[in-house]
A and B are shown apart, each in its own frame.
Chain A
Amino acid sequence: METVVRVVIIYVIIVAGLRVLGKREFGQLSPLELVTLLLIPEIVAQALIRENYSLTNGIIGLTTLFALVFFTSLVMHMSERAETVISGEPTVLAAHGKFLTDNMNRERISPEEIYAELHKSGLYTLGQVRWVILETDGKIAVVARDEPDNVTRPHEHDEAIS
């Protein structure tokens, strides 16, 4: 009975909190959201299994986390500089058929990973690519050249520049 009440209370608070924060916060898994999602069970578990004894502490922890997430997203929205500091910027890994080795080494991305992403986009050589971009959420985006069929031989343009 008591556990059910506790779970219901925590569940309602989590759902309401996520709803209040809006779609943006949990629609994608940026580092900020990842930290949030990792912290929620850590805080709530104590209230549920009662290692920290009280539901009050769980609610305080949870609302504090939601308030922090909302405040951070507000600051990021109002200030492009803050957004850059907190979320970072996209990194171009390859441009116009050439690897950018400095950026690849800085982000620890291998040519194999880039090629894997090319294959997912239906491409097979770097010559077909205008840009390969590591986005701030950690995903790699591939922008193909307008005329990909003008590439005749695989690896023809796969030379590295730095």
Chain B
Amino acid sequence: MNSREYAQQRQSEPDTRREGLPRPPELDRKIDLARYQWFALPLLFCVPILALFGVLGETYTTTTVQQNGVEMVVNYANRAHYEANNQVSILIRNNSGRDLTDATLEVERAFLDRFSQINFNPSLSIIMDSVYRIELGDLASGTSRVVTIGVQPDHMGDQRGSVALVVAGEPVASVELAMFVFP
């Protein structure tokens, strides 16, 4: 039964509960939007639809590099929300067949200084002019280390930087980070 038939049936049916109160006349119902609504409503619907598909939400990405026998896997939010906590997780695996002594992880200050409430695990060793340095100690062949850095974006827009594994003062492997922070 379509809407018109339903309305006609309701008009013709005696309704004892209405005690003779007349029903309003039926209207030829149709969609009649103003010109500005034809433009504005798709825009209005666009935001939640994009959000449903995750375009406006926080997303994580994983970047893996193999350099000099070291595998570095970095998992971080490539799209984040302003002042919403997220985490950068760095896995370092020594596949070189030799021990790496005095390994340190260095995260570019130009990147991390754009965040607040930064938590390092293991803890931060020293802040240099251009990098945050985390001492990892000796990294035996076949072993791995995980470093996690909790961050809260303090600036909106594109944030870029790098994280590098340094052994005996020489960079062994590095990954470029790019995070877009929504307002």
A contact residues vs B (CB 8 Å cutoff): 16-17, 20, 22, 50, 52-57, 59-60, 63-64, 66-67, 70, 74, 77-81, 90-92, 95-96, 100, 103, 131, 133
Q: A52 — which chain B residues lie within 8 A by C-beta?
A: 84
A54 touching B19 in the complex, CB below 8 Å, given contacts A63-B47, A74-B31: no
Interface pair A53/B3, CB less than 8 Å apart: no
Number of B residues with CB within 8 Å of any CB on chain A: 30
Say which residue of B26, B31, B36, B182 sits within 8 Å of A78 (CB atoms): B31
Interface pair B45/A54, CB less than 8 Å apart: no
Q: How far is the CA of A70 from the CA of B45 in the complex (A)?
A: 10
Q: How far is the CA of A71 from the CA of B47 in the complex (A)?
A: 15
Interface pair B41/A70, CB less than 8 Å apart: yes
A53 touching B82 in the complex, CB below 8 Å, given contacts A78-B29, A80-B3: yes
CB distance from B26 to the nearest CB of A (A): 8
B183 in the interface (beta carbon within 8 A): yes
Given contacts A54-B82, A55-B182, A56-B81, 9 further A-B contacts (CB under 8 A): A16-B40, A53-B82, A54-B183, A74-B31, A78-B31, A80-B6, A100-B19, A131-B19, A131-B21
Interface pair B29/A77, CB less than 8 Å apart: yes
Q: How far is the CA of A74 from the CA of B37 in the complex (A)?
A: 13
Those of B7-35 within 8 Å (CB) of chain A: 7, 10, 17-21, 26, 29-31, 34
Interface pair B44/A70, CB less than 8 Å apart: yes
Interface pair A60/B82, CB less than 8 Å apart: no
